A and B are shown apart, each in its own frame.
Chain A
Amino acid sequence: MRSGRLLSPEKTIEGKLLQKFRGSERLTDRLAAVLIKGCAFVAIVALVLIFVFIGKEALPIFTSPEVRTEADLGKLLLPQPERGFVWQPVSERPAYSILPLLAGTLKATIIAVVFAVPLAVAAALFTSEFATPWAREVIKPAIEILAGIPSVVVGFFCLMVLAGWLQSAFGWTYRLNATTAGIGLSLAVIPIVYTVSEDAFSSVPQRFRDGSVAMGASRWQTAWRVVLPGASPGVLAACVLGFGRAIGETMIVLMASGNAAVLSWSASDSIRTFSATIAAELGEVVMGSPHYHVLFFIGAFLFVLTFFINLTGQWWVGRLQKKLRGGS
Chain B
Amino acid sequence: MRDIKGVTPKLETRALDLFYGHFHALKQVSVSIRPRAITAIIGPSGCGKSTLLRVFNRMNDTIPGVRLSGEVLLDGQSIYSRNTDIQRLRKKVGMVFQRPNPFPLSVFENVAYGPKIHRLANSGDLHEQVEASLKQTGLWDDLKGRLNASALSLSPEQQQRLCISRLLAVEPEVLLMDEPCSALDPIATAQIEELLMQLKTQYTIAIVTHNMQQAARISDETAYMLLGELVEVGQTNAVFTRPRDPRTEQYISGRFG
Contact = CB atoms under 8 A, between A and B. Distances in A.
B139 interface: no
Interface string A305-328: 000000000000000000111111
Nearest to A232: B104
Contacts of A325: 150, 152-153
A221 interface: yes
Which of B86, B97, B99, B117 has the most chain A CB atoms inside 10 A of its CB? B117
B179 to A, nearest CB: 13
A138 to B, nearest CB: 19
Secondary structure at the B interface, as helix, strand, loop or mixed, is helix
Contacts of B88: 216
Contacts of A221: 117
A326 B170 CA distance: 25
Given A207-B97, A213-B59, A216-B88, A226 B103 contact: yes
A208 B104 contact: yes
A226 B103 CA distance: 6
Contacts of B114: 215-216
A213 B90 contact: yes
Contact of B113 (A210, A225, A326, A327): A225
A247 to B, nearest CB: 31
Given A229-B104, A230-B103, A324-B104, A216 B153 contact: no
Contacts of A214: 57, 59, 90, 94-95, 97
Nearest to A215: B114
B104 A211 contact: no
B167 interface: yes
Contacts of B86: 216
B87 A216 contact: yes
Contacts of A225: 103, 113, 116-117
Interface in A177-211: 204-205, 207-208, 210-211
A217 interface: yes
A326 B154 contact: yes
A221 B90 CA distance: 14
Contact of A326 (B90, B95, B153, B163): B153
B113 A328 contact: no
Contact of B117 (A211, A215, A229, A230): A215
B101 interface: yes
Nearest to B62: A213
Nearest to B104: A230
B62 A326 contact: no
A208 B150 CA distance: 14
B105 interface: yes
Contacts of B102: 211
A207 B113 contact: no
B97 A215 contact: no
B89 A211 contact: no
A212 interface: yes
Interface residues of A, number: 24
B114 to A, nearest CB: 5
B99 A207 contact: yes
A319 to B, nearest CB: 12
A248 B95 CA distance: 50
B166 interface: yes
Contacts of A205: 101
Interface string B72-114: 0000000000000011111100110101011111000000011
Contacts of A327: 153
A207 B101 contact: yes
B57 to A, nearest CB: 6
A148 to B, nearest CB: 33
A222 B13 CA distance: 29
A215 B153 contact: no
Contacts of B99: 207
A327 B59 CA distance: 33
A218 interface: yes
Given A211-B103, A214-B90, A326-B150, 16 more contacts: A204-B104, A214-B95, A214-B97, A215-B117, A215-B170, A216-B87, A216-B88, A216-B91, A216-B117, A217-B117, A218-B87, A225-B103, A226-B104, A230-B104, A324-B104, A325-B150
13 contacts: A205-B101, A211-B101, A211-B103, A213-B90, A214-B59, A215-B91, A215-B170, A216-B89, A229-B103, A230-B103, A324-B150, A326-B151, A327-B153
Those 8 A-B pairs whose CB atoms lie nearest each other, nearest first: A326-B153, A216-B90, A326-B150, A216-B91, A230-B104, A207-B101, A214-B95, A216-B87
